[in-house]
């Protein structure tokens, strides 16, 4: 491009105020009669890492594509830094998008790929090259600018895509399952690097994944989606510890669900009748429904003495499997099978298969939740 | 594949006469073009380049050649532009009426040439476009659009749709998306489409015959009319030229296909994983 540049990119202008707020208000997307996304309210604060987590078909990718401008909203509005962007085409939204397939231009070198958004903004060749190399160095690809995408590994291609999405200082970063194609070890490494990069740049991220471990390890906030709606949102530990429904509890990790009737609820605690497990106290967030259960994570069950614990059940051991750092016990307690995870390599409390055991939990670690119909 | 050998050999033997039957009559024009005689004769009595040089010195033949090239030029440019943009526009979209539009674009391949010729003849007379090469070129463009459309559509089949979205999210407008995403992918398709359009136009006779005028007589039309009055070997020269052009076009096409296949082999969809 030989045209002279008149447009200065926002990258070089010193923007001190925090930007990158994304807000969705009453967003709905209909495909025929089916609502892919239904009446969704969502906000990403400047510098926040928010993950849309859900199974396929939950509307998480559609939601992100509406933010990026690739899907039109049936109703509702999307705001970036307080400005409605519904009429802006994707090219003017100033968002860095990384696709699952990386979508690198195959006929361009890595540096040309990274320089592309700068070229579209009228940055001249020399400066472009410098800033592209800089961005590549930031993702650990210094000196590989002349490689073509097909000469690079999947992990390297992903870094190029990341550098390309960041080089023009976008308002926010949208990541659509960017790790799905990587093997486990590389995926974990990339998760750490993306998180570190995001924190050092202070950039807002809207992340889409169906992988709960990925969501747990990277996010400031998780938004769990199902059938186009938000089922629950909150900090990763909070959503994990206090699932609102049995579906969320099962989707985010393993859990034991004990059906119960609520006897009394007040001050964030409920007294519940667990049938064969007796009457116990559990954590309560006030969720209302037709049927209730108590969720206890396998790692929160422990072997107790029969009369030393308020919340407990007795039964026998079905199996014990060593998993290295932990042991997984399958127990039959109070008429139902439960799973328990115990730290350590040698079990202290069981006398082997079919032995009688008593397990208990503390009220802070058991959550009252709604059974979805 | 060892046991299949004998069948390979027998099918090879069977295909030789078919090949000879198909190709040899066409190749007869080559020696005839180099005859020393004043009439088309086969086998040629003595060899000479007289007919060839005579062909290139003959004003009438040269203007026919020029008319053919002009018509083909018009046809190639229009067919590639229309067919190419239509293929890009229809790529990756689904909407009611898409099948109808595709059918309309491909229709000229199916409609009998003589029907098209009559229609073009009446149309161009009614709008007063007669006596130049332009209407012939336009008519040939209609014939050639399906070829350009199909070759470009085929080259788009391997395009990752995320590339288009990716480009626009990075700030590319429609023009830049066309230039940086579509063009590199469809370039082989455009070249192939142009070659097809050229060969469709250069040997098309029926429409050119209907639309001919003293200033717009294409090579095949001149050959057809001349052969009724005199049997000059210049007709064979011109045939030999058309055969050569067609063969070259075919060879270029084959080269492109081979190169694209080998590139496709080098370009697996997911690169082998290495430690990042």
Range A110-131 average pLDDT:
94
Domain span at residue B147 reads 68-217
Please indicate if any CB of chain B lies within 8 Å of the CB of A117. Answer: yes
pLDDT at A36: 92
Residues in chain B closer than 8 A to A177 (CB atoms):
none
CA distance A231 to chain B (A): 29
Please indicate if any CB of chain A lies within 8 Å of the CB of B267. Answer: yes
Which CATH number characterizes residue B105's domain?
1.10.3720.10
For chain A, how big is the Rg over CA atoms in Å? 25
Task: Give the span between the Cα atoms of B211 and B244, in whole angstroms.
Answer: 26
pLDDT at B271: 37
Asked whether residue B7 is assigned to any structural domain, the reply reads: no
How confident is the model over A167-218, as pLDDT tens digits?
Answer: 999 999 999 998 888 888 888 888 999 999 999 999 999 999 999 889 999 9
pLDDT at B137: 96
A288: pLDDT strictly greater than 90? no
Closest partner CB to A154 (pick from B172, B181, B271)? B271
CB contact under 8 A, B162 and A99: yes
Q: Are A123 and A167 in contact (CB under 8 A)?
A: no
Range A123-141 average pLDDT:
93
Which of A120, A158, A183 is best to mutate for the B interface (most B CBs within 10 A)? A120
pLDDT at A89: 93
pLDDT at B263: 52
A69: pLDDT strictly greater than 70? yes
pLDDT at A38: 92
Structure tokens at B81: 């532009």
Residues in chain A closer than 8 A to B275 (CB atoms):
153, 155, 186
Structure tokens at B214: 């003293």
A15: pLDDT strictly greater than 60? no
Task: Give the span between the Cα atoms of A273 and B141, in whole angstroms.
Answer: 82
B80's enclosing H/E stretch is helix B59-90
Please indicate if any CB of chain A lies within 8 Å of the CB of B165. Answer: yes
Q: What are phi and psi of B190, to 5 degrees?
A: -65, -45
A3: pLDDT strictly greater than 70? no
CB contact under 8 A, B173 and A182: no
Query: Is the model more confident about B17 or about A278?
Result: B17
Closest partner CB to A105 (pick from B163, B165, B271)? B163
Bond before B43 cis per omega within 30 degrees? yes
Asked whether residue B203 is assigned to any structural domain, the reply reads: yes
pLDDT at B260: 63
Asked whether residue B106 is assigned to any structural domain, the reply reads: yes
Helix, coil or strand: residue B112 = coil
**Percentage above 70 pLDDT, chain A:** 92
Please indicate if any CB of chain B lies within 8 Å of the CB of A169. Answer: no
Task: Give the span between the Cα atoms of B89 and B83, in whole angstroms.
Answer: 10
Domains and CATH numbers, chain A: 22-238 (3.40.50.300), 242-370 (2.40.50.140)
A242: pLDDT strictly greater than 80? yes
Asked whether residue B130 is assigned to any structural domain, the reply reads: yes
A7: pLDDT strictly greater than 80? no
Q: How many domains does chain B have?
A: 1
Q: Are A133 and A141 in contact (CB under 8 A)?
A: no
pLDDT at B242: 87
pLDDT bin (cut points 50, 70, 90) of residue A327 is confident
- Give the HSE-up count for residue B31: Cα atoms under 13 Å, Cβ half-sphere: 10
pLDDT at B103: 94
Please indicate if any CB of chain B lies within 8 Å of the CB of A103. Answer: yes
Helices A125-138 & A110-120 angle (0-180, nearest 10): 120
Range A74-95 average pLDDT:
93
Please indicate if any CB of chain B lies within 8 Å of the CB of A32. Answer: no
A vs B: CB pairs below 8 A? 96
CB contact under 8 A, B266 and A181: no
Task: Give the span between the Cα atoms of A92 and A115, in whole angstroms.
Answer: 17
Please indicate if any CB of chain B lies within 8 Å of the CB of A192. Answer: no
Task: Give the span between the Cα atoms of A327 and A321, in whole angstroms.
Answer: 6
CB contact under 8 A, B165 and A105: no
The bridge status of strand A49-53 relative to strand A221-226 is parallel
The series of mean pLDDT values per 10 residues for chain B, 276 residues long, is 64 86 82 80 78 88 93 96 94 87 92 94 92 94 94 88 92 92 90 90 92 90 88 86 84 74 48 37
Q: What are phi and psi of A208, to 5 degrees?
A: -115, 130
pLDDT at A225: 95
Q: Are A225 and A59 in contact (CB under 8 A)?
A: yes
Task: Give the span between the Cα atoms of B184 and B188, in whole angstroms.
Answer: 8
CA distance A346 to chain B (A): 36
Range A136-151 average pLDDT:
92
CA distance A276 to chain B (A): 52
Structure tokens at B260: 């694209």
Spatial CB neighbours of B34, under 8 Å, sequence gap ≥ 6: B44, B47, B48, B49, B51, B52
Please indicate if any CB of chain A lies within 8 Å of the CB of B162. Answer: yes
Residues in chain B closer than 8 A to A116 (CB atoms):
167, 170, 172, 180
Chain B residue whose CA is closest to A104: B163
Please indicate if any CB of chain B lies within 8 Å of the CB of A90. Answer: yes
Residues in chain A closer than 8 A to B168 (CB atoms):
69-70, 89-91
A292: pLDDT strictly greater than 50? yes
């Amino acid at each position: 491009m030989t045209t002279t540049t008149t447009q200065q990119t926002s990258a070089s202008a010193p923007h001190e105020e925090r930007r990158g707020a994304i807000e969705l208000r009453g967003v709905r997307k209909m495909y025929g009669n089916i609502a892919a996304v239904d009446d969704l309210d969502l906000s990403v604060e400047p510098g926040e890492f928010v993950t849309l987590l859900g199974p396929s078909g939950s509307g998480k990718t559609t939601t992100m594509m509406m933010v990026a401008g690739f899907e039109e909203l049936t109703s509702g509005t999307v705001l970036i830094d307080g400005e409605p962007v519904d009429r802006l085409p994707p090219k003017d939204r100033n968002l860095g998008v990384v696709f699952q397939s990386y979508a690198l231009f195959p006929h361009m070198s890595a540096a040309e790929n990274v320089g592309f958004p700068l070229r579209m903004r009228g940055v001249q060749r020399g400066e472009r090259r410098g800033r592209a190399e800089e961005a590549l160095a930031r993702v650990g690809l210094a000196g590989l600018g002349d490689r073509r995408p097909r000469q690079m590994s999947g992990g390297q291609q992903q870094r190029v895509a990341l550098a390309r999405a960041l080089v023009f200082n976008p308002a926010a970063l949208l990541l659509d399952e960017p790790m799905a194609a990587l093997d486990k070890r590389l995926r974990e490494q990339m998760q750490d690097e993306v998180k570190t990069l995001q924190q050092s740049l202070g950039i807002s991220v809207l992340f889409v994944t169906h992988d709960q471990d990925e969501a747990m390890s990277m996010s400031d906030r998780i938004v769990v989606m199902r059938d186009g709606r938000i089922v629950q949102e909150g900090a990763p530990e909070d959503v994990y510890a206090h699932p609102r429904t049995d579906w969320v509890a099962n989707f985010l990790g393993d859990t034991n669900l004990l059906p119960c009737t609520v006897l009394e609820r007040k001050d964030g605690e409920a007294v519940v009748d667990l049938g064969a497990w007796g009457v116990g106290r559990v954590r309560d967030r006030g969720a209302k429904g037709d049927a209730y259960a108590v969720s206890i994570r396998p790692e929160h069950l422990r072997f107790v003495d029969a009369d030393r614990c308020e919340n407990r059940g007795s039964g026998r051991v079905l199996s014990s499997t060593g998993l290295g750092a932990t042991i997984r016990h399958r127990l039959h307690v109070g008429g139902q099978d439960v799973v328990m995870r115990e730290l350590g390599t040698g079990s202290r409390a069981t006398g082997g298969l079919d032995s009688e055991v008593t397990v208990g939990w503390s009220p802070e670690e058991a959550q009252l939740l709604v059974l979805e119909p | 594949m060892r046991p299949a050998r004998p069948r390979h050999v027998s099918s090879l033997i069977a295909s030789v006469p078919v090949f000879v039957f198909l190709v040899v009559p066409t190749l007869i024009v080559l020696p005839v073009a180099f005859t020393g005689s004043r009439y088309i004769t086969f086998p040629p009595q003595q060899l000479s380049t007289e007919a060839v040089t005579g062909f290139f010195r003959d004003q009438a033949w040269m203007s026919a050649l020029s008319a053919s090239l002009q018509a083909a030029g018009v046809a190639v440019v229009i067919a590639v532009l229309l067919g190419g943009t239509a293929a890009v526009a229809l790529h990756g979209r689904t909407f009611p009426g898409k099948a109808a539009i595709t059918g309309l674009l491909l229709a000229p391949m199916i409609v009998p040439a003589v029907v098209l010729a009559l229609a073009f003849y009446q149309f161009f007379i009614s709008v007063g476009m007669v006596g130049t090469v332009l209407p012939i070129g336009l008519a040939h463009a209609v014939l050639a659009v399906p070829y350009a459309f199909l070759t470009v559509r085929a080259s788009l089949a391997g395009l990752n749709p995320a590339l288009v979205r990716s480009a626009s999210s990075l700030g590319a407008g429609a023009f830049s998306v066309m230039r940086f995403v579509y063009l590199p992918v469809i370039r082989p398709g455009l070249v192939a489409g142009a070659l097809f359009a050229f060969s469709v136009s250069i040997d098309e006779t029926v429409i050119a015959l209907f639309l001919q005028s003293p200033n717009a007589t294409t090579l095949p039309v001149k050959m057809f009319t001349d052969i009724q009055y005199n049997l000059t070997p210049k007709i064979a020269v011109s045939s030999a030229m058309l055969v050569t052009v067609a063969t070259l076009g075919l060879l270029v096409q084959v080269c492109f296909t081979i190169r694209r296949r080998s590139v496709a082999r080098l370009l697996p969809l997911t690169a082998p994983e290495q430690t990042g």
